[in-house]
């Protein structure tokens, strides 16, 4: 099989395409105007599809490597790929770098989710290195007339691809089980709730829904609060979590009686939240104005 380098690189691009399609379908479900309870549960289909894709691609990659190595050891004769195949490899490296550059530029824009774009940017950079290594191995193998160099390049690249697939399979299984609770995300939620309310956070429970999470936050509140005040304030905190933490798609805030039974002024708590929200709005407005000024200077 003289064009194994192109075949294995096509696996990378196929996975890349399926990942982008998965992201597109996920965002379509999230932004759908149809309101029904099962909409968010459909996000689990993203992890299920990704799991089958990764398993199938892993088997194909293993077959390719085993077939190449068995041909080498049994027949003792292998053929290098055509030097023209390097055009495809180096072109793929350039395209990956262009996409990586676009992703990094996209991440610097205010109000953009960094989770998905950061992952895609890192993968594009690594894929460009893989394409470059495969292209260089083909050139060296043809110049020195030593196909073993190309086999070495294919083997090393296959190890990288399999490593990525195994990590993807592990992550998908954990997400499907609903036990994936990132510590950083928990700390981020606790910090936000404390900042907005000044109250103590008892615990945070996360349930994974595809690439997003459902958060249940238990907050200690003074027992002197009325039921209607507790309901309205919990609803307000839940909206803050949804609006400011992009990984969370559903949020439930539960207020429980605190050991400290001191009186609380609900108006003071609401004023604190309003002040912080107003402050964040001013900061975002200043950032947007600064971006507009820079763009106008570039145009001029």
CATH for 245:
3.30.70.1350
Residues 266 and 155 in one domain: no
Residues 207 and 144 in one domain: no
Please, are residues 157 and 8 in contact by the beta-carbon 8 Å criterion? yes
Please, are residues 92 and 9 in contact by the beta-carbon 8 Å criterion? yes
From 127, 148, 177, the end of a domain falls on: 177
Residues 160 and 190 in one domain: no
Residues 155 and 257 in one domain: no
Q: What's the pLDDT tens digit per position in 82-112?
A: 677 777 778 888 888 888 887 777 666 554 4
pLDDT (average), residues 239-266: 76
Does pLDDT of 75 surpass 60?
no
Does pLDDT of 283 surpass 50?
no
pLDDT at 217: 92
3-state secondary structure of 148: helix
Q: What's the pLDDT tens digit per position in 139-172?
A: 887 788 777 777 777 777 778 778 877 877 887 7
First-residue to last-residue Cα distance in the chain? 55
Residues 161 and 195 in one domain: no
Residues 202 and 79 in one domain: no
Does pLDDT of 272 surpass 70?
no
From 142, 177, 212, the end of a domain falls on: 177
From 177, 192, 209, the end of a domain falls on: 177
pLDDT (average), residues 28-34: 64
* Phi, psi of 215, deg, nearest 5: -110, 135
Separation of alpha carbons 283 and 289, rounded Å:
10
Residues 171 and 206 in one domain: no
Instruction: Please count the structural domains in the chain.
Output: 2
Residues 250 and 173 in one domain: no
**Residue 265 domain boundaries:** 183-299
pTM: 0.56
Residues 135 and 37 in one domain: yes
pLDDT band at 180 (very low <50, low <70, confident <90, very high): low
Residues 223 and 170 in one domain: no
pLDDT at 286: 45
């Amino acid at each position: 099989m003289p064009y194994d380098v192109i075949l294995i690189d096509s696996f990378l691009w196929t996975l890349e395409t399926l990942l982008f399609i998965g992201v597109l379908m996920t965002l379509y479900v999230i932004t759908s105007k149809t309101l029904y309870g099962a909409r968010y549960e459909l996000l689990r289909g993203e992890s299920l599809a990704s799991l089958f894709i990764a398993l199938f691609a892993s088997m194909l990659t293993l077959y390719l490597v085993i077939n190449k190595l068995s041909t080498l050891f049994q027949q003792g004769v292998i053929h290098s790929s055509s030097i023209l195949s390097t055009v495809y490899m180096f072109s793929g490296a350039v395209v990956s770098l262009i996409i990586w550059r676009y992703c990094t530029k996209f991440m610097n824009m205010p109000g953009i989710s960094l989770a998905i774009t950061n992952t895609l940017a890192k993968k594009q950079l690594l894929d460009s290195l893989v394409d470059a290594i495969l292209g260089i191995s083909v050139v060296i193998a043809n110049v020195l007339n030593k196909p073993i160099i190309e086999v070495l390049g294919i083997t090393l690249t296959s190890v990288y691809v399999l490593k990525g697939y195994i990590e993807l399979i592990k992550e998908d299984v954990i997400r499907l089980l609903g036990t994936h609770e990132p510590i950083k995300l928990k700390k981020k939620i606790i910090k936000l709730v404390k900042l907005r309310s000044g109250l103590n956070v008892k615990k945070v429970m996360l349930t994974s829904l595809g690439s997003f999470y459902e958060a249940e936050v238990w907050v200690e509140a003074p027992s002197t609060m009325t039921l209607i005040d507790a309901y309205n304030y919990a609803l307000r905190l839940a909206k803050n979590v949804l609006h400011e933490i992009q990984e969370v798609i559903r949020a439930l805030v539960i207020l429980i009686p605190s050991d400290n039974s001191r009186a609380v002024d609900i108006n003071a708590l609401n004023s604190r939240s309003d002040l912080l929200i107003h402050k964040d709005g001013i900061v975002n407005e200043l950032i947007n104005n600064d971006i507009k000024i820079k763009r106008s200077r570039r145009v001029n």
